[in-house]
Amino acid sequence: MRTRKLGNLEVSALGLGCMSMTWGYGPPADKQEMIKLIRAANDRGITFFDTAESYGPFVNEALVGEALEPIRDQVVIGTKFGFDIDQRTGTRSGNTNSRPEHIKAVADAALKRLRTDRIDLFYQHRVDPLVPIEDVAGAVKDLIAAGKVKHFGLSEPGIQTIRRAHAVQPITAVQSEYSLFWRGPEVGLLDVLEELGIGLVPFSPLGAGFLTGKIDSNTKFDANDFRNQVPRFSPEARKANETLVEMVKNIATRKRATPAQVALAWLLAQKPWIVPIPGTTKLHRVEENIGAAELELTAEELREIRATLANIQIQGERLPEAALKMTGL
């Protein structure tokens, strides 16, 4: 697979989001099957793997660590801190916690779970309104000086937060939702990232599955699936948003590709420093997604997509209200 650069960190053009293997989309998948899947993804060229302490909590990092231990020097691991989770018991308060001493405790615990001596990319998962971002960046700077962390990242930050943090410790990557289903980063974020030389790692690049064309207004989600709480995934919103999926399907048919491949290829075409991290628990989906890295959308096709998007009003918020309040965009 081709590679791209997040700042000066080189990774595969597509990464693998591992959250859904243990959390968020229903019951956890079989652990041994997910270990095989992660290693198979690497065999097929994926070198960038995304996890977080909060996915579980802890179990996702442990899964990723076990899967990647035999090939540790061939891969890049991104994980996250920033929630108030007891490192001994896994008890979480639901609040953010980016106090410097907590960040350092999270790093030490994550290193053990990931079975490694360094975290390649350490993101603040959500900005903590009670801790100045300069203190957060300073704590990660200390971890980098100690050799425990290689690169600093932020997830869902505001633009001024990025500037303030970057002045203390250069940011390698910002993670944010971005897809044909939600284009918020186009309002200012992409410009500041380009200015500062920071990469973008879009999560939910397939609109939490909606852009694959496999979800419609009649789809029933598992009781533990987070999409049950998302306004954009109400049956009414799904029905209203089908126009977007039809556009993607039409282009996919012409390109002899799948809707997922078109959606990912569109993201890759936006900037050379964008690295999406689609998540899946199925090997054939990994292989399908990898195909997007070789799919070229022409300038005319990109203009067609832009023109169509301008006439589509997406219905429903992308996250529940409480979660939206924790984001900077």
| Residue 329, domain member (yes or no) | no
pLDDT tens-digit map of 256-266 = 999 999 999 99
| Residue 258, domain member (yes or no) | yes
Q: Are 207 and 263 in contact (CB under 8 A)?
A: yes
Give the DSSP letter of residue 240. Answer: H
Q: Are 177 and 225 in contact (CB under 8 A)?
A: no
Q: Which of 25, 55, 123, 178 is catalytic?
A: 55
| Residue 174, domain member (yes or no) | yes
SS percent in the chain: helix, strand, coil, step 5: 45, 20, 35
Active site residue 178: no
Instruction: Describe the crossing of helices 100-113 and 133-145 by its angle, rounded to 10 degrees.
Output: 40
pLDDT tens-digit map of 205-224 = 999 999 999 999 999 999 99
Helix (H, G, I), strand (E, B) or coil at 29: coil
pLDDT tens-digit map of 148-170 = 999 999 999 999 999 999 999 99
Alpha carbon distance 136, 129 (integer Å): 11
Output the pLDDT for position 150: 98
Bridge partners, 83 (sequence order): 96
CATH number of the domain within which 252 lies = 3.20.20.100
Output the pLDDT for position 155: 98
Q: Which residues of the chain have pLDDT under 70?
A: none
Q: How many domains does the chain have?
A: 1
What is the pTM (predicted TM-score) of this model?
A: 0.98
Output the pLDDT for position 97: 98
| Residue 227, domain member (yes or no) | yes
User: Is there a cis peptide before residue 170, judged by omega within 30 degrees of 0?
Assistant: no
How many Cα atoms are found within 13 Å in the side-chain-facing hemisphere of 288? 19
pLDDT tens-digit map of 28-41 = 999 999 999 999 99
Percent of the chain residues past pLDDT 90, beyond the cut: 99
Q: Residue 127 is which amino acid?
A: V
| Residue 32, domain member (yes or no) | yes
Output the pLDDT for position 329: 80
Domain that holds residue 269: 3-324
| Residue 238, domain member (yes or no) | yes
Identify which of 207, 188, 201 has the alpha carbon closest to the alpha carbon of residue 315.
207
